[in-house]
């Protein structure tokens, strides 16, 4: 028998990384919010890799922080080891990645949620969403509560009708022994949401005492740690070492001999897995010419002996997992504590969503995270933040918040999902952005903090610090073009040692910094009046000078796209009535229902000629922006 709970403005379903950011954002923006989770003990759980960041993912975390989200702060507080990836490449692909204390991260995030004003946490399972016509009216829980609400944000991760696979053993369940949410999945199908079946997996966790670390390569963190959060004032330190091991021909032989026992190859798994994070079985089959594959052995916390085997995702039977792991140097006596497994789950076709992440046919219904077909904690948190912002702004009668892809990786991620869709779990990568030199991790605050402050998620104190940093960058750019560096034997020895041509006449420091290989580390000792400048200021100045020409070219492309994106398309258009459009374009436009000409141009099957037709159509009806 149902009972009525107090009315709230927003219900967030799921307390993973998407749900946390959605709930915090909506509550901070003044909406009474309830966060439903099947277990308080799994808030902010990291069922797969206990790390945050990585290539492009680190960009997302810094952008979340710049907008006023929580993930970056939590990562810094619970960091075990941190590195900037891709140091040997250009700054566009430099990405922070941190190993995280999994349990402490949960404790930290749970406390943040518990102490947030306007936010209420309830351990219960959502089983049904009820509508009033085509608008959200409330949520029914397993314990019989009816929660009346104006908006629902679904952030249920991999729990929807989820099924675990280890060899021939399979059962309905979620990550880490949690239950599956089959009833809620059925209720979404009853609302005519288009669900698909995706699959992901996780490697085994093993006991530290069973590893011979003397046979492994050591992987240390950076000497100078770059925090995720721009507001971080503490000197972060590495607390642990990570390690590298390699598979070999014996490993590969055991896996090949047992492929028929893998549910991936026996047909038991129907879901589509992530192309960019394949299982070890997939690696052996797809890259048969490779004599070995790298794996990373990483602690998951300071107060546990569990070690994570990154790169060894598998769904083979447990006995086979033990056999192939023990062929690896250093793991000859390894003890598995948690077996690797594959998990199959229902998720939404993101083409059903607007760029605000609101559903196109059900008002007040939003989706975020793996429910939208993505993979990764960072992609989830980014979507949760945007969904929470938009749900709150709609309730407060404010304009929608949509980040263009030229502004951020968050904008790129969401635009890809709602414009192109995904046929497999989507993973963010730097290659997905055509503006990646503009969208660096080091300048995320320059790009997004003003927006976070305008929205109301960035505090006045944090914004003032940002403005001070911006002023310091401007002052330093001006200063270095007044500083003259003179040739000297010591300087030229330094230049030659770095492969830089000799300095034969005095030059401005700003002009020298534009040269490849010349940085503050080389020049600052020859600047007699060098002020004490933070490392992040030097980094911004150097990059802006060295890549000035390329940055200007990308900004010109952004301006062209910006003009297209200012031309709004009414959401009520029936594209099948615009006869000048090609048939394929009409079909695709009616599915995606783009909000402007820029988004229309990015739809697969819509070409520039179709966009020109739409532009003329808009002019004929006066460029109407009505919905």
Name the percent of the chain lying above pLDDT 90.
Answer: 90
CATH of domain 566-620: 1.10.150.570
Residue-wise pLDDT for 496-542, tens only, equals: 988 888 999 999 999 999 998 899 989 999 998 899 999 999 999 99
H or E element, residue 411: helix 409-415
CA 277 – CA 55 distance, rounded (Å): 13
Q: Half-sphere exposure of 582 toward its Cβ, with a 13 Å CA cutoff?
A: 12
Domain residue spans in the chain? 3-200+345-455, 205-341, 480-549, 566-620
Q: Where does the pLDDT of residue 626 fall: very low under 50, low under 70, confident under 90, or very high at 90 and above?
A: very low
What's the chain's average pLDDT?
95
Interval 14-26: pLDDT, tens: 999 999 999 999 9
Phi-psi region of 57 (alpha: psi -120 to 50; beta: other; left: phi over 0): alpha
- pLDDT at residue 5, rounded to an integer: 85
Q: Does pLDDT of 624 surpass 90?
A: no
Q: How far is CA 78 from the centre of its chain?
A: 18
More confident of the two residues 545 and 264: 545
pLDDT at 538: 94
- Count the Cβ atoms, other than its own, within 10 Å of residue 91: 19
Distance in angstroms (rounded) separating the CA atoms of residues 306 and 204: 10
| Calpha distance 407→203 (Å, rounded) | 35
Give 614's contacts (C-beta < 8 A, 6+ positions apart): 569, 578, 581, 597, 600
Report d(CA 573, CA 565) in Å as an integer. Answer: 17
Q: Are 368 and 187 in contact (CB under 8 A)?
A: no
Mean pLDDT calculated for residue range 578-593: 95
Predicted confidence (pLDDT) per residue in 311-341, tens digit: 999 999 999 999 999 999 999 999 999 999 9
Tell me, what's the pLDDT at 74? 98
Is the pLDDT at 627 greater than 50, yes or no? Answer: no
Can you give the pLDDT at residue 278? 85
- Tens digits of residue pLDDT in 45-88: 999 899 999 999 999 999 999 999 999 999 999 999 999 999 98
205-341 maps to which CATH number? 2.40.30.260
For residue 274, give the DSSP letter.
P
**CATH (residue range 480-549):** 1.10.10.1800
Distance CA 63, CA 410 (A): 7
* Residue 195 contacts residue 348 (beta carbons within 8 Å): yes
Residue 402's alpha-carbon distances to 278, 369, 442, 571, 605, in angstroms, are: 32, 17, 22, 15, 23
**How far is residue 93 CA from its own chain's centroid?**
15
Q: Give the residues across from 310 on adjacent strands.
A: 296
Residues 6+ apart with CB under 8 A from 563: none
Instruction: State residue 623's pLDDT score.
Output: 54
271: confidence class by pLDDT, cuts 50, 70, 90: confident
Spell out the alpha helix ranges (H) of 2-101.
17-28, 57-67, 71-77
Q: Which of 442, 458, 438, 440 is nearest to 450 (CA)?
A: 458
Q: Is 352 helix (H, G, I), strand (E, B) or coil?
A: helix
Superfamily grouping for domain 3-200+345-455:
FAD/NAD(P)-binding domain (3.50.50.60)
C-alpha gyration radius of the chain: 26
Q: Which residues contact 92 (CB under 8 A, 6 or more apart)?
A: 430, 436, 437, 439, 440
Would you state the structure tokens that stand for residue 170, as one six-digit string?
């399979």
Handedness of CA 375, 50, 125, 197 (dihedral sign): positive
Q: Which residue, 477, 478, 446, 476, is CA-closest to 463?
A: 446
Q: Write out the H or E segment, with its range, that includes residue 200.
A: strand 195-202
pLDDT tens track for 161-190: 999 999 999 999 999 889 999 999 999 999
3-200+345-455 and 480-549 have identical folds: no
- 400-457 per-position pLDDT tens digit: 999 999 999 999 999 999 999 999 999 999 999 999 999 999 999 999 999 999 999 9
Number of Cβ within a 10 Å radius of residue 570: 14
């Amino acid at each position: 028998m149902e009972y009525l709970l107090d009315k709230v403005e927003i219900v967030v379903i799921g307390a993973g990384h998407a749900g946390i950011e959605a709930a915090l954002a909506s509550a901070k923006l003044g909406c009474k919010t309830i966060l439903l989770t099947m277990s308080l003990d799994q808030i902010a759980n990291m069922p797969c890799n206990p790390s945050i960041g990585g290539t492009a993912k680190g960009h997302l975390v810094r952008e979340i922080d710049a907008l006023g989200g929580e993930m970056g702060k939590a990562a810094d507080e619970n960091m075990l080891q941190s590195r900037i990836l891709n140091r040997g490449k250009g700054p566009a692909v430099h990405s922070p990645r941190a190993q995280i204390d999994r349990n402490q991260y949960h404790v930290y995030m749970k406390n943040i949620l518990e102490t947030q004003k306007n936010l209420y946490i309830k351990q219960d399972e959502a089983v049904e969403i009820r509508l009033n016509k085509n608008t959200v009216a409330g949520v029914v829980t397993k314990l019989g509560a009816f929660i009346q609400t104006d908006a629902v944000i679904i952030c249920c991760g991999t729990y929807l009708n989820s099924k675990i696979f280890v060899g021939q053993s399979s059962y309905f369940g979620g990550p880490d022994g949690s239950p599956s949410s089959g009833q809620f999945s059925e209720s979404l199908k009853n609302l005519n949401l288009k669900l698909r079946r995706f699959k992901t997996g996780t490697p085994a966790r093993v006991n530290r005492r069973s590893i011979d670390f003397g046979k492994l390569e050591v992987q240390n963190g950076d000497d100078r740690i770059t925090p995720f959060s721009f507001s971080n004032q503490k000197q972060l330190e590495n607390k642990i070492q990570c390690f590298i091991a390699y598979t070999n021909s014996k490993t590969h032989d055991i896996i090949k001999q047992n492929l028929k026992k893998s549910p991936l190859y026996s047909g038991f798994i129907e879901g589509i897995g992530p192309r960019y994070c394949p299982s070890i079985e997939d690696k052996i089959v797809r890259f048969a010419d490779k004599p070995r594959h790298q794996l990373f052995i990483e602690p998951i916390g300071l107060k546990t002996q569990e070690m994570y085997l990154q790169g060894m995702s598998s769904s083979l039977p447990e006995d086979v997992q033990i056999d192939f792991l023990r062929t690896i140097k250093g793991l000859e006596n390894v003890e598995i504590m948690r077996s690797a497994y594959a998990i199959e789950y229902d998720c939404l076709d993101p083409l059903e969503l607007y760029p605000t992440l609101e559903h196109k046919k059900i008002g007040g219904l939003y989706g975020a995270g793996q429910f939208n077909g993505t993979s990764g904690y960072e992609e989830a948190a980014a979507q949760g933040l945007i969904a929470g912002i938009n749900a709150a702004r709609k309730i407060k009668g404010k304009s929608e918040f949509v980040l263009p892809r030229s502004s951020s990786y968050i904008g790129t991620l969401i635009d890809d999902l709602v414009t192109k869709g995904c046929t497999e779990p989507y993973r963010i990568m730097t290659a997905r952005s055509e503006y990646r030199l503009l969208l660096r991790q080091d300048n995320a605050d320059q790009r997004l903090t003003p927006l976070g402050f305008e929205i109301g998620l960035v505090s006045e104190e944090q914004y003032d610090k940002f403005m001070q940093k911006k002023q310091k960058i401007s002052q330093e750019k001006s200063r270095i073009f007044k500083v003259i560096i003179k040739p000297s034997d010591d300087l030229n020895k330094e230049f030659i040692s770095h492969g830089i041509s000799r300095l034969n006449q005095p030059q401005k420091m700003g002009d020298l910094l534009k040269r490849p290989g010349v940085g503050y580390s080389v020049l600052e000792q020859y600047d007699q009046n060098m002020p004490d400048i933070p490392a992040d200021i030097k980094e911004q100045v150097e990059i802006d000078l060295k890549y000035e020409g390329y940055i200007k070219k990308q900004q010109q492309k952004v301006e062209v796209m910006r003009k297209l994106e200012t031309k709004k398309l009414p959401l009520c258009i029936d594209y099948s009535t615009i006869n000048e459009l090609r048939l394929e374009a009409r079909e695709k436009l009616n599915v995606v229902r783009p909000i402007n000409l820029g988004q229309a141009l990015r739809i697969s099957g819509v070409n520039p000629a179709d966009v020109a037709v739409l532009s003329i159509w808009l002019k004929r009806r006066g460029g109407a922006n009505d919905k």
